[in-house]
Amino acid sequence: MRSRVAIILVLLLVTAVPFACEDACAANDEHLWLYEIISAGSFESVTVYNGGNSNVNMKNYFLDDGEGTLRFTSDLIIGPKGYASFVSVQPEVWFTRGFYLYGTNGIVAKSFILADNGDEVSLKRTSGEVLDAFVYGNGDTSIAGWKGDAFQRIPSGKAAVRSSAFDTDTAADWKITVIGRTDEKINSSGAFNALVTPFVFPDSKGYPIFNALENAQNEVMISMYILDHKEIVSLLVTLLERGVSVTILLEGSPVGGVPDTELRYMNLLCGKGADVYVMKSNNGYKRYDLVHNKYAIIDSSIVAVTSENWREGSFNGNRGWGALIESKEYAEYMKNIFTEDSDIERYDIFELRSLYSTISPITVPQYRIKEVQSYTTYEASVKPVLSPDFSFEYLKREIMNASYRVYSQQMSIQYAWTDVTSSSPVSWSLTAAGNGADVRVLADVTFDDTDSSSWNGMTVSLINDMEGMQARAMSNDGFSLTHNKGVIIDDTVWISSINWTNAAFLNNREVAVAVMSCDVAEYYASYFLADWGCEAEVGITVSVRGNVAGEPTVLDASSSSYPYGSLFEWDLDGDGRTDRIGVKIASMFEEGVHECVLYVTEPSGIIHVYEFSVVTVSKSNADTSEPYIKYAPILAVMLLILIIAAIKRIRDGKQ
């Protein structure tokens, strides 16, 4: 295992990247910055970064929060591109950065206490000149060295960290993070040359993944939200038995809980020698809200990235995208991320068997090698993309620069993002449409209420109201669920686990890969356009049951054909107002002829009008013979049975 010191050194190297530029540090001569602030919780911390090329002695500076100061009475040196964290008390174990406690090393704190609801922190020379400042919550924004509104309040267990390479003295320079997260940047890596094999679900049934795993020789690393595909588990058992190393990182608290089958399968793999870890909250600390990844690294040379969890239903029923990417450089990059995320020395990483020691393993049948399927492989450049590190910024840049198309197929689109005054994939797509790009959005509505305009159905309708954009709801013909999170931007394809929600971009650990290839883009575009045309044609029919005035009359349009998410509105008296909503309704009418109208609004916003009449009669004029006619066959059968029984009894009496 790596020592804690080694972890700290790695973190320092990674987080130093944004501040390596001399120009970025030109805000003050000493190149000294406030870098990280923790204000709420069991301890407080202020981290200072030295972006210069020479040592800095903190004895020449002090920190000021408006009510108190933190001064340095002894030499305290911060080396070039180095950090120093000053901590009020012994920090929690998840705080992996090196630190100095108040009261040690000549550090004197005089009423220097950061308020939970808001405060200000200034880094000053001993002469009183301000080098840098930070204001959060309800802190005083009028202080020297700060401009504009305060940064948000810092939640307990989280930190405000400088995210910009340029100091604008505003809240835009900062972001909220959890200590211990990776801090990769858009430019942390370039694009890697690769051989890419694209495939889709459910058409492929995941065969490319099976075939790649079958050929594993040394090691397999898998990071997955949920993994309980019986055949995948059987194949992993086979790999373990022939000496291949298998390491798995799973989400420890998925929505709905960890499936029992997954626990039993993982215990089986552990018994065969696999290392299985879960990321789970530990005393309120967890680096990412969810480990929502869907990727695997095979022999440090091939990476499989999918939109689907590795489950039988996902492989065989969902619409999703996947790709095998052969590139040692890309695989090495992802291997470093996997190793960082699954490090057992992390406070939120647990061995699965230690948490579920009483769960018994489940046996699986012997794996049968799959028939090798024929898939085309293309030369391409690939770019790794991570949430929450920089996926939001990267997708924004790509969509905003689109020249001729943006095709998005999404399981979930955050409804609030239809407010295009905020920055979101929807607003970026609207900008692309304004620049002349063909912008289309396909959204799943499987879990929508088909009797109302809700969730993705409402989102689709609102997107269609935006000039230059088209959206359709997936009717899921042939799919159990449209689980995709894919985007085609010109000749680049985004294959990912990232739903279009704030949580996916900003709080979850998610993985996407941007594949830059005209051929690969056309491959996925062909499936997208086929799905685009697959929704049901609208044909409205209404059946009327019950024609007695004052008694319920049922109006039923459920035999109609219509896209999921369509809205059914009934005008029962022809006054132009909606009286009922739903595919099937019941209402009571007075005696007479009633002219009714049914309005069916597709998720795309198209409205269909169906006019019909309901004729009701008084009870006295109702056809009362109908019940007897309805049950006449049953009565005839019962009468026949009675006659046969009587005849039999007479015969028995004679005998």
Q: What is the mean pLDDT of residues 571-577?
A: 91
CATH class of the 192-355 domain in this structure = alpha beta
Q: What is the mean pLDDT of residues 176-183?
A: 90
Tell me the domain boundaries of the chain.
4-177, 192-355, 385-532, 543-621, 625-655
621: tokens are 């004029």
Q: Cα dihedral sign for 447, 450, 455, 460?
A: positive
* 385-532 fold: Endonuclease; Chain A (3.30.870)
Q: Give the side-chain half-sphere CA count within 13 A for 360.
A: 2
- DSSP-derived secondary structure for 56-111: EEGGGEEEE-SS-EEEE-S--EE-TTEEEEEESSPPPTT--S-EEETTSTTEEEES
Per-residue model confidence as pLDDT tens digits over 529-556: 999 985 556 788 899 998 899 999 999 9
543 closest CA partner among 557, 533, 532 = 557
* Phi, psi for 549 (deg, rounded to 5): -60, 140
Report helix, strand and coil shares of the chain as percent, to nearest 5.
Answer: 25, 35, 40
Calculate the average pLDDT of the chain.
Answer: 89
* 2: confidence class by pLDDT, cuts 50, 70, 90: very low
The rounded distance, in Å, linking the Cα atoms of 284 and 194 is: 40
Cβ neighbour number for residue 209 with a 10 Å cutoff: 24
The rounded distance, in Å, linking the Cα atoms of 136 and 120 is: 6
Q: What is the mean pLDDT of residues 294-323?
A: 97
Residue 19 has pLDDT above 80, yes or no: no
Q: Give the side-chain half-sphere CA count within 13 A for 432.
A: 30
Per-residue model confidence as pLDDT tens digits over 133-151: 999 999 999 999 999 999 9
Domains 4-177 and 385-532 share a fold: no
Residue 619 has pLDDT above 50, yes or no: yes
List alpha helices for 102-187, DSSP H.
none
Q: What is the mean pLDDT of residues 265-281?
A: 97
202 closest CA partner among 350, 84, 313 = 313
Per-residue model confidence as pLDDT tens digits over 220-233: 999 999 999 999 99
Q: Across the chain, how many H-helices and E-strands are there?
A: 13, 36
Residue count of the chain: 655
Residue 281 has pLDDT above 90, yes or no: yes
Top pLDDT among 642 and 629 is at 642
Residue 625 has pLDDT above 60, yes or no: no
Residue 453 has pLDDT above 80, yes or no: no
Residue 69 has pLDDT above 50, yes or no: yes
Strands (E), 523-574: 543-545, 552-556, 567-571
* CATH placement of domain 4-177: 2.60.40.1260
Top pLDDT among 602 and 503 is at 503
Q: Classify residue 448 as exposed, middle or buried by CB count within 10 Å of its CB (0-12, 13-18, 19+).
A: buried
* Phi, psi for 85 (deg, rounded to 5): -105, 130
Residue 626 has pLDDT above 60, yes or no: no
Per-residue model confidence as pLDDT tens digits over 460-480: 888 988 999 999 888 666 788
The rounded distance, in Å, linking the Cα atoms of 389 and 183 is: 6
Assess whether the previous peptide bond of 202 is cis (omega < 30° from 0): yes
The rounded distance, in Å, linking the Cα atoms of 339 and 351 is: 14
**Which pLDDT score is estimated for 653?**
60
* 543-621 fold: Immunoglobulin-like (2.60.40)
Could you write out the three-class secondary structure of 191-224? Answer: CEEEEEEEEEECCCCCHHHHHHHHCCCCEEEEEE
**Which pLDDT score is estimated for 564?**
62
241-245, 265-269, 356-360 — which is least confidently predicted? 356-360
Residue 324 has pLDDT above 60, yes or no: yes
DSSP state of 366: P
